[in-house]
Amino acid sequence: MLDGVNTTPLKDAHIVYDKKQIHFVGESSPPADLLNTGQREPDLNLSDYTLLPGLIEAHAHFFLEGGELDLDKRSAYLKQTPEELLSAAHPRLEKLIQLGVIAVRDAGDKDGVGLALSKLYNNVKRPLMPYVDSPGAAIHHQGRYGSFMAEPIEKYGPLKKSVEARVNDGADRIKLIPTGIINFKKGAVMSEPQMTTAEVAELVTAAKSFGKQIFAHASGDTGIERAIDGGVDSVEHGFFVRPDQLAKMRDRQIAWVPTFAPVQEQVDHADLMGWDSEVVSNLKKILEQHAASLVKAQQMGVQIIAGSDAGSVGVAHGVGFLYELELMERAGLSPIAVIKSATGTSSNRLAFKEKFGQIKPGFLSRFILTRHSPLEKISNLKRDKFLVFDGAVFESSGVDKLGL
Ligand SMILES: [Zn+2]
């Protein structure tokens, strides 16, 4: 049993749970008052299984169809109405459950898809779906990167008004886009950051005044520095982060969500994307540097959180997240470190409204049971497994057979 926080597995663990929550976890027998009257033996003896918390995807965009690689089809998809985008997102929910993903932190859209799903989750009559929370529209500057998922600060005047508008829309947290993105052709972030440190800090203060966490899309070391100094809760992507910045992140408890998948997908489908060998070599260099930073961050004690940026080109919801976990392992993290980043660390750091991501009394009964130990290799999570979700059992026949 892996509890999502500790690195040492518990062998021969006893677990007592009901539909709602976990009541007991330990190597000794559970106390009799937690069992059925007269019960001496476990209801199930699964000695050849590994039990671990259901997975938390910490960076996904429900309004985008990530699996789509054709750029024309992607822009046609985005021309749909918000209602159409929302109904296209619905079938993803049950698939995520089947894959073992029990919670998703949506990373923003301006069509209200993430907010609608967050609201749906909070409805007593919700369908089978993971926990979802959302920042609504991300916050950026007019004319700068992010207009497809953000609303500009300029629309609201004072910075605090932008945050207030999101909160009024029902945002669970606040998402900022203080930088641009990587220019793949040049292999660098070419544009100046969108926001100053003072702007980030003011938005952070505003978010805190509403009791909300704030997460920042940031790539390029200049922009990352501003996000860190502005006091965000997590740096998303963080391409080109420097070691001294990782140290600051550790000291200030700023988490890092490295999102390898969207860049790796560009390498995997370089022909389709029209990249020549020079661009591919840039991309590979970026990924190598990112991998080295991830290993360094782990050694330094930075809080690392797994998120795939699902919805980006080639990054399908659910399957793309399992791929992200493989990429983190490929980068040099041990399987247990990857599992922690997708469970306990996320659950401890991201202020979700419910308790999941750990196997501990008081946490929801949402966990994976598998005969293919992910400690051997993380890709074992793609194979057949069971997911217990609020006491109900779902069987997943493995990614290859799910046709995803
Ligand atoms: Zn994103």
CA of 296 to the centre of ligand 1 (A): 23
**Which pLDDT does position 402 carry in this prediction?**
60
Closest CA to 305 of 262, 346, 344: 346
Concatenated DSSP letters for 217-254? EE-SHHHHHHHHHHT-SEEEE-TT--HHHHHHHHHTT-
CA of 160 to the centre of ligand 1 (A): 23
Pairing type for strands 214-218 and 174-176 reads: parallel
**Which pLDDT does position 398 carry in this prediction?**
80
Least confident of 113-117, 339-343, 389-393, 398-402: 398-402
Q: What is the DSSP-derived secondary structure letter of residue 26? A: E
CA of 234 to the centre of ligand 1 (A): 13
Output phi, psi for 297, to 5 deg: -60, -40
d(CA 60, CA 84): 18
Closest CA to 129 of 106, 146, 160: 106
CA of 49 to the centre of ligand 1 (A): 34
CB neighbour list of residue 76: distance below 8 Å, 6 or more residues apart: none
d(CA 117, CA 131): 9
- Whether residue 351 is predicted with pLDDT greater than 90 in this model: the reply is yes
Tell me which long-range contacts 380-385 makes (C-beta under 8 A, separation of at least 24): 381/55, 381/100, 381/322, 381/325, 382/322, 385/100
- Whether residue 134 is predicted with pLDDT greater than 80 in this model: the reply is yes
For residue 302 the two structure tokens come to 């930075």
pLDDT of 192-236, one tens digit each?
999 999 999 999 999 999 999 999 999 999 999 999 999 999 999
CA of 196 to the centre of ligand 1 (A): 20
Q: What is the overall mean pLDDT for the chain? A: 96
CA of 83 to the centre of ligand 1 (A): 21
CA of 2 to the centre of ligand 1 (A): 29
**Which pLDDT does position 397 carry in this prediction?**
82
CA of 312 to the centre of ligand 1 (A): 7
CA of 316 to the centre of ligand 1 (A): 13
Q: Would residue 393 be called left, alpha or beta, if left means φ above 0 and alpha means ψ between -120 and 50 degrees? A: beta
Between the alpha carbon of residue 218 and those of residues 8, 189, 240, the distances in Å are 33, 10, 10
- Predicted TM-score (pTM) of this structure: 0.97
**Which pLDDT does position 391 carry in this prediction?**
85
- Whether residue 404 is predicted with pLDDT greater than 60 in this model: the reply is no
Residue 401's pLDDT band, with cuts at 50, 70 and 90, is low
pLDDT of 233-269, one tens digit each?
999 999 999 999 999 999 999 999 999 999 999 999 9
Neighbours of 307 (CB within 10 A): 30
Residue 399's pLDDT band, with cuts at 50, 70 and 90, is confident
Per-position b or e across 321-340, b if 16+ CB within 10 A of its CB: bbbbbbbbbebebebbbbbb
CA dihedral 15→16→20→21, nearest 10 degrees, is -60
CA of 145 to the centre of ligand 1 (A): 12
Q: What is the 3-state secondary structure (H, E, C) of 260-326?
A: CHHHHHHHHCHHHHCCCHHHHHHHHHHHHHHHHHHHHHHHHCCCECCCCCECECCCCCCHHHHHHHH
- Whether residue 21 is predicted with pLDDT greater than 60 in this model: the reply is yes
Calculate mean pLDDT across residues 160-180.
97
Calculate mean pLDDT across residues 359-382.
97
Calculate mean pLDDT across residues 346-366.
98
CA of 167 to the centre of ligand 1 (A): 20
